[in-house]
Structure formats: structure tokens, C-alpha cells
Amino acid sequence: MDLTALRTAHPEHWMKAAAIRALTLDAVAAANSGHSGMPMGMADVATVLFTNHLNFDPAAPHWADRDRFILSAGHGSMLLYALLYLTGYEDFPLEQIKNFRKWGARTAGHPEFGHGRGIEVTTGPLGQGIANSVGFAIAEEIQRATWGTAIVNHNTYVMAGDGCLMEGISQEAIGLAGMQELSHLIVFFDDNNITIDGKVSIADKTNQMERFAASGWHVQAIDGHNPDEIEAAIVAAKADKRPSMIACKTHIALGHAAQDTSKGHGALTDADQMKAAKAAYGWTTGPFEVPADVKAQWEATAQRGKTAHAEWQARVEKLSAAKQAEFARAQGGEAPKKLASTIRAFKKQASEEAKSVATRKSSENVLAVINPIMPETIGGSADLTGSNNTKTADMGVFTPDNRKGRYIHYGIREHGMAAAMNGMALHGGARAYGGTFMCFTDYARGAMRLSALMGVPAVYVMTHDSIGLGEDGPTHQPVEHLSMLRATPNTNVFRPADSVETAEAWELALTATGTPSVLALSRQNLPTVRTAHTNKNMTAQGGYVLADAEGKRQVILIATGSEVEIALKARDALQAEGIGTRVVSMPCMDIFLAQDEATRRKVLPAGPVRVAIEAGVRQSWDMILMGERGNAKKAAFVGMEGFGASAPAEVLYEKFGITAENVVAQAKNLL
């Protein structure tokens, strides 16, 4: 590359981009780790985007109608941090750049949502950002249709590399975005032909332009170091009615000795090579020093966004007070006031009617009363709408022809769905829930973990939550998944026993602000076990006494979901033999274990025999059975030890010994 020619052609642009490159070199060198090559390769694209297009306001990083910038290639975090520092975000002073990858810094190895205002989303696990962006863009489409372009009208810009595009999740995102014609979504593909192991061609020869075009995208290929081409491509992308992909041919680690090599992907810390690269850029200041004029030019790029922000604010203020409040409420992730009374009314009716109903159906019934009062919900399913019971009559289906629709047919794309849900929640103004079979949390894990890590209150509606699904067999029967999800930090796993607990779980899920929820729901019908109405949300305690012992308390049975019915039957049998038996329903173990000790002790006092019943593996139950004032010698578990099988549900429960008879036998054996 002839850097001098580039520099001469666009001197101001060049120095602004050089600032990103120099800061990247300095920060990676100081940390002695990180990824230099991507920021150095994509600096020109970022500079044109921020200078001429991206509407952002460093003084109001969370302004609702800002354009979103998503660094899907999260290892290039210094690109983002440099931009946030250069444009003047308060949370990213130079000190943060100097402390890149150090304990307590906002400038973590990969961008971490919540570490500092200006980071839209946590990225690093490849492919997530591009899939998140589909959620961002869908949320924007729905809100634009709902509120009008005066209030919502912005773009979502993404930078993705070969890694993002090789990950399967990218195909799910590309397919969904193409079908949905998300015109405000623009992806820059950092087409540098380099991965960690070598040239891209050692693992992939896909023509990415053709691949995106096959799914209905607008595609362009440009020289990613030519500001004029970058500018023209962005203008064309914004004008097109389809989602746009701009393949930017770039040189990884531009101007460095490691340019165009795998080595350039990683940490470039050699002092002499850094010096040479900076010289090639015409960068003469010391480490972490950005010339005042360059810094001023960068800060000036924010002016367009500041003006847009002010104009937007004026338009918002023309809305009625009620509309303003409603907009602010939804954007703030606050549940409507009516939610609590709606849930209470539902619970009362469910307790009184005491129907036998599958909790997946209970969930649908709850949604039928919630969705009309929470216009910010966006529901969907990975092609199992009728099985997950996720669609309610009022929602409308989101399509290119119906932008106010709030139900998404995600297709058979669990991972893409979960990542899109994260994007919707992070966009703001949206409460996303989506369904698939519980077993296929396996496919969505990558994004579900990020919900937990980011504290995104997405709601995963996971039906068919055990061998109780029957004939589909072990590929579809979760056994380890409840323990797996409980092992995941900051994830609330709800497994309600009936309609009442299902309503309570939904209330908690929809009022959560920093925790995702998983609702594990049955395929099979379950009796109503909460036949006495309480206004109190008992699920909010995680576990509670559903039926207490009569006479001396000798046994405590603890169960969740479909197994609470079994526990109650076992209690009847034990009580009939004069054995005082308490039944604890534990719809959310995570929440229970977070209660104060007095509460936990009341539910699980020391002394009695404990038998836990759940149609899954034992692992997460060990703490309930043996910790929490328990005793290994007086504890038993009735559940699964291995994978399930294909047969009718009732046969499976019998064959695997998850029966009231077995519970009774286990309890008596320990007495």
C-alpha cells in the first residue's frame, strides 16, 4: 500500500484514521495483549462512518434515536474505545485507553455492555454482533412504524469480519434480515482475507457477496481504505430498501510490518515496528498523544448527532405528556403499572377455575392478558409457534408489509433468535421473548450466556421441558439443561407447576431489569396446585411451602414444574401412613438460594428427610438436598440419571421411576 498517496489525497481523514491506529498500537503495547490488526484495518471505514453518517451524541450516549454502532468483530475493541475517546464520551477519557485490558478498566479485552456508556453491546464471541444487529433493526422498524419517523428513525451499522461470517449464527441473521427487508441495517464486512490460522482460503472459499445476495441483501464491494468509495457505498446502502452489506477490502494491520498476515491479527508490540508504522502514518506524537487539531476534528464529528438529538428532543416534546411518558417508560424498560393487577386477576381466575392445563398453554393464556397492556413486547418462536404457544391474537406478525406486527417467525434459527432478542432488548423500548423446545437451548447457548453476562432481561420460553414430551425421544428431551442453566450466573430458571406459578414467573420475568429468564414449560397437562388465591407472588421467593405436613414433620418433598403433582400425590400416600410430609414447590431455585437465611430455613428446616423430584439430572439439587441444613444421609433424588427414550410420556415416567410410588419408597427408606 502506498500510504503517502492515501494521506495526500485525504489529509484530514488520514490523520483522524491514523489516530485510531496509533492509539490501538499504544494501548495494545501497554497491555501487552490484544488485537491490533482489525482496528488498523477498519480505521478508514470507521472514520468515514463517524464523520459523515453516524448520528451520535457523546453527551447523551443513550439518546433513543441515535444510530447504533455494533462492533461484531469484538476483538477489535480498540477501534471502539479509540472512537469513544476521540469523539468525547465521558466514560472513555484517555486514562481508560491507557488502562486497556487492566483490572477495573472500562476498556476490557472485548467490549462489555455496561462497562461504559457508548458500548451498545458485548461482543467477542464471533457472529453475535451481526445477529444482535438484526434484533436492533427489527426493534427500530417496529418503533418507527409505531411512533413515526419523527420519533424513531435511525440506522444500525455493524462491523463484522470473516470470523463472524463463518460462524453459523451469521447465516441465521442474514436469512432473517433478508426476508424481513431490514433497510436500516448496514453491515461492513472487513474483507481482509486473514484469520488466526492463516489466509481465509485455508478454511473457506465462500463468495460472501453472492451469499448475502442469495438471501436478498443489497451488496457492494469497495476498497476499504478509499474514503470516497466508503462514502459512496454508505450513501447507496442507506438509499436501498434492502439490508446492505458492504464488503470492504482492507489490509489487516495496515502500514505495519505484519500487514496482511495472521500475525497482524494479534498483539503488535514490537517497539521498532510500531515506530515504523507510525512513521508511515506521518504520526509524530508520543504514545497516547493525539494532536490537538486531530482531536478537535474528531470531536467535531459529534456535531451532526448533537444537532439531530436536539431536533429530535424538540419533536418528542411536541408529543402529548402521556405519549412522552409512555415512550420513556418503554425505553426505560419499566413494566406498566397495570401489570401487577393484571397478573393478580389472572391468578385469581386460574386458582378458582383450577383447570388441568399444560404450562406452555398457561403461558399463552398469561401472554394473552399481558401483551395487550405491554405494547413493547416482541414475541416469537423458532418455527414452533403452535408448540411453544408464544403467539397471541393481538400481536400481528412482523413482516415487510406489517411493520407494526410484534410477532416474529424466526424460522428454524434458535441461536439467531436468542441473539436478536438480545439486540431488541439492548435497543431499548422492547421486551423480547422467544420460544423453542427446551432441549434446543443447546443451539442458543452462545447468545443465552450473553443475555446473562450483559444482564439483558430477555425471556426464553422453553417448552417440552422434560421426558414428558414423550415420543420425540432423547434428542428432544432435556435432562441436563435445568442444571446447566442454573449453573449459569445471572440466569433465572423458572419451572412453574401450574397456571398460577406460570403467571408469577411471567411477572418476574417482565419486571426483571438485569437478568434473563428461562421459562421451562410442560408439553403435558398439569393440574392446578395453587387453588387458594394469594395476591402475593410466591414464585418471587423461589421456593415456598405448597402443602405443609400434618402432624410431625418427617419428610420434605421438593419439586418443580410437572413433578409437583407427583410430590403432592406422594404426600397424600405418606400422610395416609401417618408420615407428616411437607411439599415445597421450587419454581426458581436461583431466586430461592438468593433469599435470606431465615426465609430459606423456614422452607427447608433441618431435620426431616428430603426427597427432591425433577425429571432432569440431580446436579443442581445437591445444594438443596445436602446443603441448606440438609444431610446427605437423609436425602434422595428422584429424577433422571441419563438420557431419555422414545415412548408415550406416561410410560417414560413409569419406566424411569419418576412416580409417587418411588418417591414414597425413597422417603420411607430414609426414615
Which is closer to a second copy, CB of 273 or CB of 490? 490
Please give the single-letter amino acid code of residue 15.
Answer: M
Which is closer to a second copy, CB of 180 or CB of 342? 180
- Record the cell numbers describing residue 613, joined without a space: 423430584
54 Cβ neighbours under 8 A, 6+ residues apart: 67, 69, 157, 305
Matching residue, cell 517497539: 271
- From residue 311 to residue 340, what is the string marking binding to a second copy with x (rule CB under 8 A)? ------------------------------
Between the two ends of the chain, the Cα-to-Cα distance in Å is 81
DSSP 389-438: T---TTS-B-BTTBTT--EEE--S-HHHHHHHHHHHHHHSS-EEEEEEEG
Which of 630, 658, 659, 667: binder of a second copy (CB under 8 A)?
630
Instruction: List binders of a second copy among 206-265 (CB under 8 A).
Output: 206-208, 210-211, 213-216
Report the 10 Å Cβ neighbour count for 108.
20
From 43-51, 61-69, 200-208, 534-542, give the range in contact with a second copy by CB under 8 A: 200-208
Which of 223, 442, 540, 573: binder of a second copy (CB under 8 A)?
442
Report the 10 Å Cβ neighbour count for 596.
7
Is residue 411 involved in binding a second copy (CB under 8 A)? yes
Please provide residue 261's backbone torsions phi and psi, each rounded to the nearest 5 degrees.
-130, 160
Instruction: List binders of a second copy among 579-618 (CB under 8 A).
Output: 617
Which of 22, 374, 395, 453: binder of a second copy (CB under 8 A)?
453
Is residue 403 involved in binding a second copy (CB under 8 A)? no
Which of 449, 464, 582, 634: binder of a second copy (CB under 8 A)?
449
Residue 351 and residue 530 in contact, taking contact as beta carbons nearer than 8 Å: yes
Q: Which long-range contacts (CB under 8 A, 24 or more apart) does 91-98 make?
A: 91/61, 91/116, 91/117, 91/118, 92/116, 92/118, 94/288, 97/23, 97/26, 97/27, 97/288, 98/27, 98/30, 98/288
- From residue 81 to residue 110, what is the string marking binding to a second copy with x (rule CB under 8 A)? --------------------xxxxx--xxx
Instruction: List binders of a second copy among 12-51 (CB under 8 A).
Output: 31, 33-34
- State how far the Cα of 587 lies from the Cα of 544, in Å rounded to an integer: 9
- Count of residues near a second copy by CB under 8 A: 115
CB of 600 to a second copy, least distance (A): 13
Which residues participate in the annotated binding site for substrate? 35, 265, 360, 387, 464, 472, 476, 523
Matching residue, cell 401412613: 577
Is 414 designated active site?
Answer: yes
- From residue 105 to residue 144, what is the string marking binding to a second copy with x (rule CB under 8 A)? x--xxx-x---------xxxxxx-----------------
Which of 646, 657, 665, 668: binder of a second copy (CB under 8 A)?
646
344 Cβ neighbours under 8 A, 6+ residues apart: 535
Alpha helices in 119-195 (DSSP H): 128-147, 162-166, 168-180
Q: Which strand ranges, in their side-by-side order, compose the sheet holding 156-161?
A: 68-71, 156-161, 185-191, 244-249, 218-223
Is residue 626 involved in binding a second copy (CB under 8 A)? yes
From 144-152, 157-165, 229-237, 362-370, give the range in contact with a second copy by CB under 8 A: 157-165
Which is closer to a second copy, CB of 44 or CB of 112? 112
Which residues participate in the annotated binding site? 35, 75, 124-126, 162-163, 192, 194, 265, 360, 387, 440, 464, 472, 476, 523
CA 419 to chain centre: 5
From 427-435, 457-465, 544-552, 619-627, give the range in contact with a second copy by CB under 8 A: 619-627
User: Which region holds residue 118: left if phi is over 0, alpha if psi is between -120 and 50, else beta?
Assistant: left
- State how far the Cα of 140 lies from the Cα of 619, in Å rounded to an integer: 42
CB of 473 to a second copy, least distance (A): 4
Is residue 361 involved in binding a second copy (CB under 8 A)? no
Is residue 392 involved in binding a second copy (CB under 8 A)? no
Question: Which of 414, 501, 614, 628 does the annotation list as catalytic?
Answer: 414
- State how far the Cα of 169 lies from the Cα of 448, in Å rounded to an integer: 13
Which of 183, 250, 463, 483: binder of a second copy (CB under 8 A)?
483
Which of 66, 476, 600, 610: binder of a second copy (CB under 8 A)?
476
Burial of 205 (0-12, 13-18, 19+ CB in 10 A): exposed
Report the 10 Å Cβ neighbour count for 509.
23
- State how far the Cα of 478 lies from the Cα of 644, in Å rounded to an integer: 8
Is residue 495 involved in binding a second copy (CB under 8 A)? no
3-class state of residue 534 by DSSP: coil
CB of 426 to a second copy, least distance (A): 15
From 141-149, 558-566, 572-580, 620-628, give the range in contact with a second copy by CB under 8 A: 620-628
From 49-57, 440-448, 497-505, 548-556, give the range in contact with a second copy by CB under 8 A: 440-448
CB of 565 to a second copy, least distance (A): 22
Closest of 594, 595, 604, 599 to residue 635, by C-alpha = 604
Is residue 201 involved in binding a second copy (CB under 8 A)? yes
Instruction: List binders of a second copy among 291-310 (CB under 8 A).
Output: none
Which residues participate in the annotated binding site for Mg(2+)? 162, 192, 194
Instruction: List binders of a second copy among 368-387 (CB under 8 A).
Output: 381, 383-387
CB of 315 to a second copy, least distance (A): 35
Continuous segment of H or E residues that includes residue 521:
strand 517-521
Active site (catalytic) residues: 414
